Structure 1
């Protein structure tokens, strides 16, 4: 599987985003949240959300870069056919902590099968 995060794998249409937040299931772990819904496609689409309570644009963009990298490296864990919104909350989380949060969110959402696939 290709490791890049392509344009078609990014959720961008306002109508799709609104549907995701209105009808999607939500799970949360400390420092992050995940909202997801089935999309009927043979691939996943993802949206990265960082709250405006983080005043610095630089910090918000950094959080999104780290999140994109976490997803890019672990996207083979995602089952096809879902729209996802990865919501990152403020905090002093290093890259490794964000990776663990993403794994925990997938497990909590029951989007991955066996735990040994994520380790």
Structure 2
């Protein structure tokens, strides 16, 4: 469906003729006309959210990550150690999922800190 956006942009904004669009994209002129005449827009799909095995432990993991940020650098546990602790609690997932969760959590924290610092000035 990205093709629809390209065709419309080239024709309406850039004023490229239908014949030239067809040549550039290597499709029929009739196809280009059909896309230009259609009233449909590119569909927007809802982001799929699948259930993760880590969801049960997300509150615990967030708490651990928050606690680790307050400790001095040398006293912090690394993600491998945190993953081992989760496995002791019954988590059967991989280290990669824990690392991905930690990356998202950290990005959310830095975003929150940056937005808070903008509000204080």
- Shared fold per TM-score greater than 0.5: no
Structure that is richer in helix per residue: 2
In the superposition, the TM-score normalised over structure 1's length comes to 0.25
Structure that is richer in strand per residue: 1
Higher RCO by CA contacts (8 Å cutoff, separation 6 or greater): 1
Bigger radius of gyration among the two? 2
In the superposition, the TM-score normalised over structure 2's length comes to 0.25
